[in-house]
Amino acid sequence: MSMTRSSRLIASGIAVMLIVGGAMAFAIVWRPVIPAIDPPTPHAFDAALIKRGRDLAAIGNCNECHTVRGGKNFAGGLPVPTPFGTIYSSNITPDAETGIGQWSEAAFRRAMHDGVNRKGEHLYPTFPYDHFTHVSDEDDRALYAFLMTRQPVHAPARENQIFFPLNQRPVIAGWKLLFLRRDTYQPDAAKSAEWNRGAYLVAGLAHCGACHTPRNKLGAERVNAQFAGGDVDNWLAYALNDRSHAPVPWDADALYMYLRSGWHPDHGTARGPMAQVVSNLSSVPDSDVRAIAIYMADISGAPTPDRKREGEAALAQARSPSQASQTDLAGATIYAGACASCHETSRPLPYGGVNLALSTAVSSPDPRNLANVVLSGVSAVEGERSPIMPGFADSMNDTQMAALLNYLRARFSKQPAWTGVEKTVADARRAVTVYLQTSAGPRSAPADPTQRDKP
C-alpha cells in the first residue's frame, strides 16, 4: 500500500518535472515564425533614414562577412571558419526567396536583438548578435531601411558544415542562455556624450570585441578578458587593453587617425581583416570615428611610465636605426635585400613602409600576422591611392621566411624570441591563400579617402 502510494508520488513528481522541464525547454528554444511580407518598395523608406542606415552598416562592417569575393554586395556565401566547423554568411539583400525580402522590420529587429531568423530558427553567434543586441531600435530601423533598398540578389544560402550536436539549431538556445546578455546600452552620466557614443558603438554595432576579445571553449567572448586579443581567420586581432604589444602606446588621436585613414606613422598600416574595417570607417561621420577612438583610448588606460619610456625608445630606434646584428646572417641578408628599401628609408607612410621597430606585428606574441603580411603583401585598393607591399610567398621558402621573421623579432622588438616560426609560416601559407581567395574586402586601406572619385 505504502509502496504503491510512494511510487505513485514519484511517478507524478516525475511527470510534473517533465512537463515543467519540457515547458521551460520549449520556452527557451521555441520562437514563432514572423509572417512573411511582400518586399517593400524602395520608395517606402525615407532617404535620410537610408543614408543613416548606410553609415551604420559601414560601422557594423556588414559587407566584410556578407559579401564574398567575386559575389554581389551583401549576397552572403563567405565561409567563416570556426572551431566548430565552417559557417557561411547569409544573403541579406531584399531578395524574397533567398534574402531577407520577406522580413518585416520586427523580424529584422528580432534577428539583431535575439539572433533568431524570420522563421524562428536560432542563428549561430558567428552573426555577432551578442553585440547587435545592444543596438537601439532606432538604429535597427535605419539599418533595415538601408538593407531593404539594396539590389535584391538571388543567392541561396550555402550549407553550413558544423559538427554534431552543434548542427542542431536548438542547441544555440542553450548557448544564448549562458552567454547572451540582452541589455540595451546604459549611458554613463559621469562621462562625456562623445565617450558614451563611442561606448555604444563599440559594444554594439562596431562589435570590436568579436575579434579583439578572446573566446572561451564554447565560442563566447570571455567577459573578464575584454579586448585582451583574439583570433580571426588565422590573424591575431591585437590586444587593445593594457596588454597591448604596440611598441608605442596608442592614444585617442593616434587611434582616430588610424581608424579614419587606415595607417598611422607610429604604428603602420591596417591589413588583414582590419583593412576592411578601416575602409568602411573612412566613409562614416567623423564624429563617430572620433567617439570610438576616445572611448577605446580611455578604457585601455593611460600607459605606465615604463610603457611610455619604451615607446620613446622605439621611436628613437626608428629615427636612427641600429646596426644590424650579426646573429642571424641569412635573416639579416634577406631583410637588407628585400625589406629595407621600403622599411628603412625616410619615405613616409603610407607609401613608405613603417620602421619595424614600431610594428606591433613584430612585437606581437606570435608571428602569424607578420607571416601573413610578408607572404601576401598589401595589395593596392582598386581605383584609389593606397599603400602597397609586395608579397614574398613566391620568392622565399618557409625556412628562409622563418629566418627573416626571427631576425626581425631579434632586431626590432624587445620581446623574447618566437618558437615554431617555420610551422607558423607553413600554416600561414595555407590559410592566407584561402583568405585571399574568399574575402571580398580590400587588402589595404585607402590612403586618402577624400580623394575618392577624383581623378
Rounded-to-integer distance, Cα 299 and Cα 289, Å? 16
Under the criterion CB under 8 A, does residue 392 sit at the interface with other proteins? yes
Site stretch for other proteins (CB under 8 A), options 25-33, 158-166, 176-184, 389-397: 389-397
Smallest gap, in angstroms, from Cβ of residue 90 to other proteins? 25
Under the criterion CB under 8 A, does residue 315 sit at the interface with other proteins? no
Under the criterion CB under 8 A, does residue 36 sit at the interface with other proteins? no
**Cα dihedral: 279, 258, 334, 315 (round 10):** 170
Under the criterion CB under 8 A, does residue 70 sit at the interface with other proteins? yes
Under the criterion CB under 8 A, does residue 6 sit at the interface with other proteins? no
H or E element that contains 274: helix 273-281
Rounded-to-integer distance, Cα 349 and Cα 263, Å? 8
Touching other proteins, residues 394-453 (CB under 8 A): 394-396, 400
Residue 22 grid cell:
519540457
Smallest gap, in angstroms, from Cβ of residue 171 to other proteins? 40
- CB contact at 8 A, 92 and 74: yes
Rounded-to-integer distance, Cα 267 and Cα 278, Å? 14
Hey, what amino acid is at 17? M
- CB contact at 8 A, 275 and 63: no
Give the start-end residues of each E strand in 238-325: 263-264, 268-269
Site stretch for other proteins (CB under 8 A), options 175-183, 292-300, 301-309, 391-399: 391-399
Site stretch for other proteins (CB under 8 A), options 42-50, 59-67, 326-334, 445-453: 326-334
Under the criterion CB under 8 A, does residue 389 sit at the interface with other proteins? yes
Rounded-to-integer distance, Cα 269 and Cα 258, Å? 8
Judged by CB under 8 A, which of 321, 342, 366, 429 binds other proteins?
342
Rounded-to-integer distance, Cα 434 and Cα 233, Å? 9
If the CB atoms of residues 198 and 265 are measured against other proteins, the closer one turns out to be 265
Under the criterion CB under 8 A, does residue 157 sit at the interface with other proteins? no
Under the criterion CB under 8 A, does residue 338 sit at the interface with other proteins? yes
If the CB atoms of residues 82 and 397 are measured against other proteins, the closer one turns out to be 397
H or E element that contains 230: strand 230-232
Q: Contact positions toward other proteins, by CB under 8 A?
A: 70, 330, 332-334, 336-339, 341-342, 377, 379-380, 388-390, 392, 394-396, 400
